[in-house]
Amino acid sequence: MIEVKNLVKKYGNHLAVDHLDFTIEPGKIYGFLGPNGAGKSTTMNIMTGYIGATEGDVLINGHSIVEEPKEAKKYIGYLPEIPPLYMDMKVIEYLKFAAELKGIESGKKAKAITEAIELTKLHDVSDRLIKNLSKGYRQRVGLAQAVLGMPDIIILDEPTVGLDPKQIIEIRDLIKNLGKNHTVILSSHILQEVSVVCDYIMIISHGKLVASDTPDNLEKLMENTTKLSLKVKADKNNIENILNSFDEIENVEYTTGRDETMTDVNITTPVDIDIREKLFYSFAENKMPIYEMTSTKMTLEDVFLELTQEKKEDE
């Protein structure tokens, strides 16, 4: 279990992490989601004890990372954004070094290394220099290092960046498997990834936690509106005249595409009202053909965009 208490990190005048407060329960996969520069990596670096916080504390299974680093770090395996690999070492040498550094007893060392190699499928390259490995394999070596000795908590900072689609699926499966027996925290700015893999999502923007819930609940949170997108062969003024007669519409946006005779309209309505039929007949009466009409619910992507943009408007 990890408790993050009122965490603040300042770089000069820039507030990278802004009073962050959350608790991570054991045995689940957590996703840190946020745009670039939101403070995900900084938070992870503080949680793993790589850098200190300006204010606040992190408790790992009850041990403060600042006051009892030795005890707290025992429970953590960490894969930073750039895997910390020594290019002049062989994979197997590197893992041996990592095992020694983590203080794994010499009796269990060989077993732990074999386990990590098996899990990350590194058999074929274990005798090669890390320098000569591809990006995907390097990422896996970094991952092997993080899971070495099977710590309770595994923290992965953007584990799938730079991998090919097949490798991404492999790593996702691996993370899901790890999630069965461990607490996994991963960060990403890719939505699909987090929604597929994680049990729980935390959206961070400008160093603040803006939302944290399960993927389903987050979608439900935004389901109070429905969006309609239309493509109509008419100009903006004529469409406006028709739409003005609809009381149900909350918001309308117009855009003109490449084809000037067409107008794209985005309509937002309350979730329980369907105005599609009414729209169809009114446009038909006025001899304005509708080329396209689609109804979309808010997706996780919209939630993400809305939550991370709201903050910007506040400023």
Partner 1 sequence: MLAVYKRDLKSYFNSMIGCVYIAFIIAFVSIYFAYYNLRMGYPYFGDVMCSVAYILMLALPILTMRSFAEERKSKTDQILYTSKSSVTGIVIGKYLAMATIYLIPILWFCVFPLIISAFGTHDFKGDYSCILIVFLIGCAYIALGMFLSSLTESPIIAAVMTFGILLILQLMSGITNFISTSNLTSFIGCVIVVLIAAFIYYAIARNAFVTAIISIVGVMALIVTYIVKSSVFGNFIPTLLNKLPLTNTLDNFAIHTFDVSGVVYCISFGLLFIFLTVQSIQKRRYS
Tell whether residue 215 is a contact of partner 1 (CB under 8 A): no
Count Cα atoms within 13 angstroms, Cβ side, for 166: 2
Q: Give the nearer residue to partner 1 in terms of CB position, either 87 or 110.
A: 87
The 45-74 site mask, x for binding partner 1 (CB under 8 A), equals x--xxxxx----------------xx--xx
* Residue 160 within binding range of partner 1, rule CB under 8 A: no
- Work out whether 42 is an interface residue with partner 1 (CB under 8 A): no
Report whether 153 contacts 183 (CB < 8 A). yes
Q: Does 85 bind partner 1 (CB under 8 A)?
A: yes
According to the binding rule CB under 8 A, does residue 222 interact with partner 1?
no
Nearest residue (CB) to partner 1, 98 versus 122: 98
Q: Which is nearer to partner 1, 40 or 73 (CB)?
A: 73
Q: Which is nearer to partner 1, 100 or 223 (CB)?
A: 100
Judged by beta carbon, residue 71 or residue 213, the one nearer partner 1 is 71
Which has the closest alpha carbon to 101: 123, 77, 125, 117? 77
Contacts of residue 287, Cβ cutoff 8 Å, sequence gap at least 6: none
Assess 240 for contact with partner 1 (CB under 8 A).
Answer: no
CB of 88 to partner 1, least distance (A): 4
Interaxial angle between packed helices 165-181 and 135-147, expressed in degrees from 0 to 180 and rounded to the nearest 10 = 0
- For position 120 contacting partner 1 by CB under 8 A, the verdict is no
Q: What is d(CA 138, CA 145) in angstroms, rounded to the nearest whole number?
A: 11
76 binds partner 1, rule: CB under 8 A: yes
8 A C-beta contact, residue 4 and residue 56: yes
Q: Which of 41, 48, 26, 31 is nearest to 207 (CA)?
A: 41
Considering only 88, 118, 223, 240, the residue that binds partner 1 (CB under 8 A) is 88
Give CA separation, 73 vs 17, 36, 151, 288, in Å: 21, 27, 9, 67
Which residue from 97, 111, 248, 253 is in contact with partner 1, where contact means CB under 8 A?
97
Query: Is 291 an interacting residue with respect to partner 1 (CB under 8 A)?
Result: no
Q: What is the DSSP letter of 12?
A: T
User: Where in the chain does DSSP place strands (E)?
Assistant: 2-11, 14-24, 29-33, 55-60, 63-64, 76-79, 153-157, 183-188, 200-205, 208-213, 225-233, 251-255, 262-270, 290-297
Q: Segment contacting partner 1 (CB under 8 A): 56-64, 98-106, 261-269, 297-305?
A: 98-106
**Which listed residue (62, 103, 257, 270) binds partner 1 by CB under 8 A?**
103
Three-state DSSP state, 145? helix
Which residues of this protein are in contact with partner 1, per CB under 8 A?
45, 48-52, 69-70, 73-74, 76, 78, 80, 82, 84-89, 93, 97-98, 100-103, 145
